[in-house]
Structure 1
């Protein structure tokens, strides 16, 4: 049976602002250089990295199809863990063979004594490493290669492709989910948080200003949609999103108050704790780093109001109505 590794302990965030806001762990008067750098980057709103896991094939055919989609049927260049540059229509098939995914799939299909109905395990993880529009694409690729070497080289096979056709440069990094020793790569929220921090570090090493903080810490309340809803909305096919928009539009047309979602109070409480945490940080910096303390207070003051999904939809609809050209009404007799 394959060996299964227990995920290594991941470090906590450098700034636990929610705890500061609860007064459970007030910040120290002496900050490390890494903490000061993170405070400064966040307060001046340094561009944030994005690292997400976008599905993962559960069959060899599904993995090969995704690889062909990523490299645009062989038109784009792969960078592999063996430091090779490979391209062509046959690369997708070659990678699945090199990584012995057929053996992984056979093992996963073997009888399992645990809970019945278990879904097949992923053969690969599809990671996306991204930066905002305007970032130098070659730097994103260089940082992605360094990140992959540090995280996976010698343990998990991988290959990556750079995309520049969406306005923002991003790298699709495909990682085999099982090592040659049978250890499975498990991805948790803590893992993603650590990967974001490591990717940002690699970007800064190649001269790109990059930061990695949680959305609430930056004063952002946008709730990321489920991946399937997001993809469908990009195609204009999301029934979930359409139903939400129609519901909010009906409330606006009727002159009603927008129905408050259950998570609104939690959203407000988290924002209050984050703001109080930042102000506690500013207070601790007042004597030793007065300029940074002032910048932190300005940062807190510039945070937009926290909005739920329905409130955000209502705001967008009202903005569109204000911008829509007014039609001339026919004259009345």
Structure 2
């Protein structure tokens, strides 16, 4: 993949690549590990019931205000149904397509997109909401109906944004969200956060040297519940029901354990492609450092080179899980040894 920062550079009269003020600021933010914004599509309702259920969930069953594109906030148990009625979702053509049979994939077009705009812990929630309001207005006002709600019940403040898929005034025109659009939205939201006085950045994870892909919301929530349960005192855990495990992660761990038992070389599947991507990223960053030196930005060029050196090693998820499992096994073995020989380590 090409490093966006490099590709955005401009060539001067001599044909030499040069960075403008904006590109240099972007590089400073990236190598300085400025907090990254998160903009993602978390799903979407394919019938009126699904859209209403999601609005009810994000409004915490009427306890939180739902702000709409028409301005006034709506609160109360009946607000989600009122919004669905106002959006006339029952008139959308896709609304009446038959539901899939159990076990089949639902291929009905969405009636609404569920979008999340999030910032790291410690970000003032009011500023996240202010930036989200501008984001929604600039992208959807007078085109697609939308509703927003701010959540502060988790360390990272975030705004849920529900957007109707069908255009309000052009029948047949729908909102399709592509990867490129998501990238542009991240950059836009980061800029809006900076306008609020909050340091924010938006770069692809590969450019930052990040290897792991983010988990899906359902998996993340399940793992978070399991970790919270594990941190409880034994007496408190005894009186509670253990959260369900993630079937996805359980299957993934099972595959890792089978690979360890059979000694099949499947833990590093995909590593070669990851290494090629890393090589391209490093080459682009080095090109950026060279360009900065030619422009007299020596200190920033050195920071870029240190940034390259500190990138984590390339490692597949399978290999990472295997190493963590081995470490846990060694720790458990040591604990059993200590229990059997309580005075052994004092000899």
TM range (shorter): 0.7 to 0.9
In structure 2, relative to structure 1, the CA distance for the partners of 1:225 and 1:72 (3 Å cut) is same
Please state how far the C-alpha of 1:306 moved relative to its aligned partner.
1.8
Alignment pair present for 1:310 and 2:318:
yes
Gaps of 5+ in 2: 10-14, 99-104, 226-243, 342-347
d(CA) in 2 for partners of 1:319 and 1:329?
18
Give 1:85's aligned residue.
73
Following superposition, the deviation at residue 261 of structure 1 comes to 3.8
The equivalent residue for 1:215 is: 205
Structure holding more helix per residue: 2
CA distance change for structure 1 residues 28 and 126 in 2, over 3 Å: closer, same or farther?
farther
The question of whether the paired residues in 1 share the 8 Å contact of 2:256 and 2:267 is answered with no
CA distance in 2, matches of 1:240, 1:196: 28
Q: Under a length normalisation based on structure 1, what TM-score does the superposition of the two structures give?
A: 0.83
Tell me the alpha carbon deviations over residues 15-47 of structure 1, each in whole angstroms, 9 at most, x when there is no partner.
Answer: 257x99xxxxxx953212111111111010111
Partner Cα distance (1:191, 1:208) in 2 = 23
Alpha-carbon separation, structure 2, partners of 1:107 and 1:318: 50
Higher relative contact order (CA 8 A, sep 6+): 1
1:239 aligns with 2:247: yes
CA contact (8 A) 1:126 1:172 kept: yes
The number of residue pairs the alignment matches comes to 306
Shift of 1:249: 4.0
* Residue among 186, 192, 200 paired with 2:176: 186
- Secondary structure at 2:200's aligned position in 1? coil
* Partners of 2:166 and 2:174 within 8 A in 1: yes
Relative to structure 1, the CA distance from residue 127 to residue 284 in structure 2 (aligned partners, 3 Å threshold; closer, same or farther) is same
Equivalent residue number for residue 139 of structure 1: 127
Change (3 A) 1:257 1:284: farther
User: TM-score w.r.t. structure 2 length?
Assistant: 0.80
- Report the equivalent of 2:239: none
Matched residues in 2 for 1:185 and 1:28: separation? Answer: 40
1:54 is paired with a residue whose SS is strand
User: What is the distance in 2 between the residues matched to 1:173 and 1:321?
Assistant: 44
Does the alignment pair 1:295 with 2:282? Answer: no
* 1:128 matches 2:99: no
Deviation at 1:220, TM superposition (A): 0.4
Partner residue in 2 for 1:173: 161
Q: Is the 8 A contact 1:164 1:170 kept in 2?
A: yes
Confirm or deny that 1:266 pairs with 2:273. yes
CA gap 1:268/1:83 in 2 versus in 1, 3 angstroms: same
The 1-side partners of 2:129 and 2:265 are apart by: 44
1:48-78 Cα shifts (integer Å, max 9, x gaps): 1111101100110111011101111001111
**SS of residue in 2 equivalent to 1:218:** coil
- Indicate how the Cα distance of structure 1 residues 118 and 257 shifts in structure 2: closer, same or farther if over 3 A, else same: closer
- Kindly indicate whether the alpha-carbon contact (under 8 Å) linking 1:51 and 1:195 is maintained by their aligned counterparts in 2: yes
> Is structure 2 residue 5 aligned with structure 1 residue 15?
yes
Determine whether 1:103 maps to 2:97: no
Tell me if the contact between 2:150 and 2:160 (Cα under 8 Å) persists in the aligned partners.
yes
1:61 matched to which residue of 2?
49
Counterpart CA distance in 2 for 1:172 and 1:125 is 10
Contact 1:56 1:124 (8 Å CA) reproduced: yes
Q: Quote the offset at 1:229 in angstroms.
A: 4.6
Q: Residues 247 and 121 from structure 1, CA distance in 2 versus in 1: closer, same or farther, beyond 3 angstroms?
A: closer
Which structure 1 segments of 5+ residues have no match? 1-11, 21-26, 112-116
* Equivalent position SS for 1:15: helix
Looking at structure 2, the residues matched to 221 and 58 of structure 1 have their Cα atoms a distance apart, in angstroms, of 33
Whether 2:138 is the aligned partner of 1:150: answer yes
**Aligned mates of 1:109, 1:32 — CA distance in 2:** 52
